């Protein structure tokens, strides 16, 4: 991916995959066409359907899937696909839920990481995009189409273990030196609306954590399964306060250019996964901390 758009190499990779499928099936189709009999004709018709569905699997997924704030929660596998590390927290879990939804629909689409601001910018454009995990607040509700919730999660304040603030409430948090929040995040408008005048906006969660460790800020925000849960050094340095900032539902936001029928199909895929054991299995594999 270059500058947020498909590179020539990626386009050629998809094209070559498409050609390989069609050439193999086409060769078999040609050999069967030389044979006789109703059974063979049935097989030829079935193979033709496979040819059509193969093309749909490769090219039918014309919505670009975007995510953000991954830090070290994901990796790129041998086939060039983004996957979530085991026991790596919410971001890994979300990526795997999206893969499960794609599998449910029999579709193939890469997942790309962009900044939070870039993701919202692309959603507002004319092309078809899907951006996760996004909070559906009042400011965003009518700007996009929605599928979800992927998850419901609480957010807390975190502080340095060796520099405790002693906060017990949101009012206490308003009085600390400063609170670092991710720029463009739902929490910015939430805390602004609650009268927080000590917010420091950063472009990444990692930047907030560094500022906290250097004692430039007093608090950062994080979920029950924070992004740094796999980083032993940071996990040992930070501790969760008893103050809950919010309880939110995370969604996939789609561009308004995506048809309602397509939105309904993605919602059905998510609902199907939630109704099965797959969703709970993914939660166990990615949200629960690793036990030695």
Of 11-15, 44-48, 253-257, 278-282, the range with the lowest mean pLDDT is 11-15
Summarize the confidence of residues 32-48 as an average pLDDT: 51
Which among 118, 119, 99 has a CA at the least distance from the CA of 109?
A: 99
Residue 28 has pLDDT above 70, yes or no: no
Alpha-helical segments (H) within the chain: 8-33, 38-59, 90-105, 116-123, 170-173, 186-193, 205-213, 232-237, 260-275, 277-286
Q: What is the pLDDT of residue 263?
A: 98
CB within 8 A of 162, min separation 6: which ones? 237
Q: What is the pLDDT of residue 39?
A: 57
76-112 per-position pLDDT tens digit: 999 999 999 999 999 999 999 999 999 999 998 999 9
Pairing of strands 82-84, 74-76: antiparallel
Preceding omega of 149 cis (within 30 degrees of 0): yes
Number of H helices, E strands in the chain: 10, 10
Please provide the DSSP assignment of 127-144 as one string. Answer: S-EEEEEEE--TTTTTTS
Rounded Cα distance, 178 and 221, in Å: 12
Rounded Cα distance, 163 and 72, in Å: 26
187-234 per-position pLDDT tens digit: 999 999 999 999 999 999 899 999 999 999 999 999 988 888 888 899
Asked if 115 contacts 122 with a C-beta cutoff of 8 angstroms, the reply is no
Residue 4 has pLDDT above 50, yes or no: no
Q: What is the pLDDT of residue 7?
A: 38
Query: What predicted TM-score, i.e. pTM, was given to this entire model?
Result: 0.70
Rounded Cα distance, 154 and 248, in Å: 6
261-284 per-position pLDDT tens digit: 999 999 999 999 999 999 999 999
Residue 13 has pLDDT above 50, yes or no: no
Residue 41 has pLDDT above 90, yes or no: no
Asked if 245 contacts 221 with a C-beta cutoff of 8 angstroms, the reply is yes
Q: State the average pLDDT for the chain.
A: 85
71-82 per-position pLDDT tens digit: 889 999 999 999
Residue 137 has pLDDT above 60, yes or no: yes
Which among 107, 123, 67, 136 has a CA at the least distance from the CA of 266?
A: 107
Cα 78–Cα 94–Cα 262 angle in degrees, nearest 5: 95
């Amino acid at each position: 991916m270059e500058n947020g758009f498909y590179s020539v190499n990626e386009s050629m990779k998809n094209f070559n995959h498409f050609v390989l499928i069609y050439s193999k099936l086409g060769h078999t189709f040609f050999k069967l066409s030389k044979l006789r009999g109703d059974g063979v004709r049935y097989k030829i018709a079935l193979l033709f359907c496979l040819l059509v569905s193969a093309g749909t699997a490769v090219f039918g997924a014309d919505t670009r899937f975007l995510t953000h704030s991954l830090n070290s929660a994901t990796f790129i596998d041998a086939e060039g696909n983004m996957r979530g590390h085991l026991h790596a927290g919410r971001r890994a879990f979300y990526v795997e839920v999206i893969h499960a939804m794609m599998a449910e629909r029999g579709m193939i689409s890469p997942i790309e990481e962009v900044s939070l601001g870039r993701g919202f910018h692309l959603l507002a454009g004319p092309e078809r995009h899907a951006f996760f995990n996004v909070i559906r607040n009042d400011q965003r509700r009518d700007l996009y189409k929605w599928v979800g919730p992927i998850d419901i999660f609480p957010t807390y304040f975190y502080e340095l273990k060796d520099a405790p603030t002693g906060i017990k409430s949101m009012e206490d948090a308003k009085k600390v030196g400063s609170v670092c929040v991710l720029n463009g995040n739902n929490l910015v408008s939430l805390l602004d609306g609650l009268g927080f005048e000590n917010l420091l906006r950063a472009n990444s969660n990692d930047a907030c954590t560094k500022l906290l460790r250097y004692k430039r800020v007093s608090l950062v925000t994080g979920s029950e399964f924070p992004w740094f849960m796999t980083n032993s050094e940071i996990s040992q340095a930070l501790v969760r306060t008893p103050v809950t900032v919010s309880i939110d539902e995370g969604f996939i936001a789609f561009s308004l250019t995506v048809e309602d029928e397509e939105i309904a199909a993605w919602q059905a895929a998510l609902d199907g996964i939630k109704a099965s054991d797959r969703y709970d299995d993914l939660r166990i594999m990615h949200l629960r901390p690793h036990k030695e």
